[in-house]
Amino acid sequence: MSALEAGELVLLIDRKQRRYLIRLSEGSEFHTHSGIVPHDEIIGQQEGTELRTAAGSVFQIWRPTLSDYILKMRRGAQVIYPKDIGAIVMYADIAPGMKILETGIGSGALSLALLRLGANITGYEISQEFADRAQQNVADFLGADALGRYHIEIRDSYEGIDGTDFDRAILDLPEPWQVVPYARHALAPGGIILAYTPSITQASKFREACQQHNFLAAETIEVLHRSWHIEGQAVRPDHRMVAHTGFLTKARRA
């Protein structure tokens, strides 16, 4: 990989695994309680470099992964967590060039993953503030060119969907079952509809709506994420885990 350059996003990780996301700028400094890190000492370095502050703290320097960025990016609405985004990408079978309807854009976490895979997104969002933030997050991480495949409309999908032949419809809404009748006409045959819902009662009502509108092969899953502490012979599950965040329910348009 090339050396780090001004204008790039970088992730700083200290000895306690605290993470800081910054954009490099010549002449700037990053200030923490652990000391000051001049950006000029990062620019030109390779990933994995360790820098020591005058206070004696050590930071590792990396380009952020998409997961790193999602957890640190600016947000308004609660984001879909990386563990669920990974499952959505596989569960909805996302591929380059797909035409995707995404409704309930929030801060754009899922949009980032879909766009990075080469999809084209039509997004419905009722909040202009959220739409603006999502577009800025996309531009910050993927670059402004990605916005050419990201079209957000300020509208309510409960009131209908314009357009047809979508390959996928992904819903992050309190009442996704209200969208199912419209998605029936908007999706191409064989297209997948997927809803992310915090509660199982929401998932159940969504499944009922899918059945009523001739969506078949329905499935519902929950993704749990447990990390492990491994240090020499001390091997055990971490005391904390990312357990329930939401249910993923998908079905296919017959």
Partnered with residue 125 across adjacent β-strands are: 154
Predicted confidence band at 32 (pLDDT cuts at 50, 70, 90)? confident
Local structure of residue 80 (DSSP, 8 states): P
Q: Is 143 left (phi over 0), alpha (psi -120 to 50) or beta?
A: left
| Contacts (Cβ under 8 Å, ≥6 apart) of 232 | none
Q: Compute the average pLDDT of residues 21-33.
A: 93
Q: What residue ranges define each of the domains in the chain, with the CATH number in brackets?
A: 9-64 (3.10.330.20), 68-253 (3.40.50.150)
By the 10 Å C-beta count (0-12 exposed, 13-18 middle, 19+ buried), 21 is classed as middle
Contact 249, 194 (CB under 8 A): yes
**Interatomic CA distance for residues 145 and 143, integer angstroms:** 5
Q: How far is CA 197 from the centre of its chain?
A: 15
Tokens coding 231: 């240090």
Beta strands in 15-63 (DSSP E): 19-23, 29-32, 35-38, 50-52, 58-62
Q: What is the pLDDT of residue 97?
A: 98
Res. 149 pLDDT band, cuts 50 70 90: very high
Each residue's pLDDT tens digit, 181-227? 999 999 999 999 999 999 999 999 999 999 999 999 999 999 998 89
Please state the rounded mean pLDDT for residues 103-109. 96
Q: How do residues 225-253 score in pLDDT, each as one tens digit?
A: 889 999 999 999 998 877 889 999 999 99
